[in-house]
Amino acid sequence: MLGLEKKDFRLLLIVIGLTMLAPFILNPFPEGSEMAQFNAGYPDLMQRFVIFGIFAIGFNILFGLTGYLSFGHAAFLGAGSYAAVWMFKLLSMNVLPAIALSVLIAGLFSLIIGYVSLRRSGIYFSILTLAFAQMSFALAYSVLTPITGGETGLQLALDDPRIFGASQTATGNIPVPALFGLEMRASYEFSIGNWLFTFNAGYYLAAIFLIGSFYLAIRIFRSPFGMMLRAIKSNQTRMSYTGLNARPYTLAAFVISGMYAGLAGGLMASMDPLAGAERMQWTASGEVVLMTILGGAGTLIGPVLGAGMIKYFENIFSKINDTILHGWFAFLPDGLENFVVAIIHPFIGKGWHLTLGLVFMLVVIFLPGGLVQGGQKIAAMFQRKKPEDAKSKATEPAE
């Protein structure tokens, strides 16, 4: 089906199910309950889940298949965001041309950086990509201020010379990104009892791009091109001895990965038409590395899981404070309650990075294959062992 093997097609269906039903899956607790703070089914966070999932899928094509570790992929994310916002300012508020330009600009940008960086491998390649990303950040932050907006970022304005569409609405406001009239911020709320579910147009557009990106990643992984990338990761020296030149393959993987990052940047700008230099910082590049390793480098669904986990920690877990903890442990005696809260306090709120770091450390030590390996181990525990076939005791006739 769709050119995929049965196992891959089943995995694609799982991703489709998870993305389409996300408003239900991410809101397991009723509104008003003490556990409702763990709900993650609001549009902004759901959009981040899928957009950074796309970013991580693209990075995994480079790192997971070839073993080339890039610390500069945030440069392509930022380039895609800037391209999308400029398309909104100059052409129209339709998100499709903006996303297309984001992918194109990021692809050209990654072609230039990849052509230079891939002259080296190993740690030298990583340092080169980091240097290019930091140079891009510095240019966007200060030197190219007329193009990027500098530290304030690139934003829409009422006097934008938009070719197709009005520069401002009838009420005098700045138009919002839309898909043929359907605004990205448009939402529909559906309630069942004490549960409230939000269906957002922008989220589902990003989810469709995630599904398409995931399908393309499967085809790349299973193609002869993907096999060549695995061979490069396995032993590039041995490949060169056979007469094969690895550079065209690694450059192609680098450009494809950069275009994925550009797509993510374009979607970010489509949901919120603002582009800032902070998206090009080395911390953003390091974040996608953590997502990929945490979920499972070289796996298909691992980067998506890693992106979801980190964004959940960043947006939900970080909001837990002492007041919430006191509410949880109010049943304890006052002295013991305060002691428990004091112990947990460094790991929540602003200290969520510490908890994430511990989780990452445990995953790297005990689950080198990431969350995917953990899921496989849990699934193996519940699998029933098939009884061995009874060996036939019948004697063979003599010749």
Tokens of 399: 């010749």
Tokens of 203: 């989220």
Consecutive 10-residue runs of the chain (399 residues): their mean pLDDT?
87 94 92 84 93 96 94 94 95 94 97 95 93 93 90 89 84 89 92 91 96 96 94 88 90 97 96 91 90 93 93 88 86 88 88 88 89 88 60 46
Whole-number pLDDT of residue 398: 43
Contact at 8 Å (CB) between 176 and 93? Answer: yes
Whole-number pLDDT of residue 391: 46
Contact at 8 Å (CB) between 372 and 302? Answer: yes
Whole-number pLDDT of residue 390: 44
Contact at 8 Å (CB) between 318 and 352? Answer: yes
**CATH code given to domain 6-280:** 1.10.3470
- Please calculate the CA angle 267-43-103 and round it to the nearest 5 degrees: 5
Whole-number pLDDT of residue 350: 82
Whole-number pLDDT of residue 193: 85
The residue written with tokens 């957002």 in the block is 200
Please give the helix or strand (H or E) that residue 309 lies within, else none: helix 302-315
User: What is the value of pTM for the model shown?
Assistant: 0.92
Whole-number pLDDT of residue 384: 61
Exposure b/e, 301-329, CB count within 10 A at least 16 = b: bbbbbbbbbbbbebbbbbebeeeebeeeb
Whole-number pLDDT of residue 375: 87
110: helix, coil or strand?
Answer: helix
88 sits in the region (left: phi over 0; alpha: psi -120 to 50; else beta) called alpha
Instruction: Give the DSSP per-residue string, 191-247.
Output: EETTEEEEEEHHHHHHHHHHHHHHHHHHHHHHSHHHHHHHHHHHHHHHHHHTT---H
Domain range annotation of the chain? 6-280
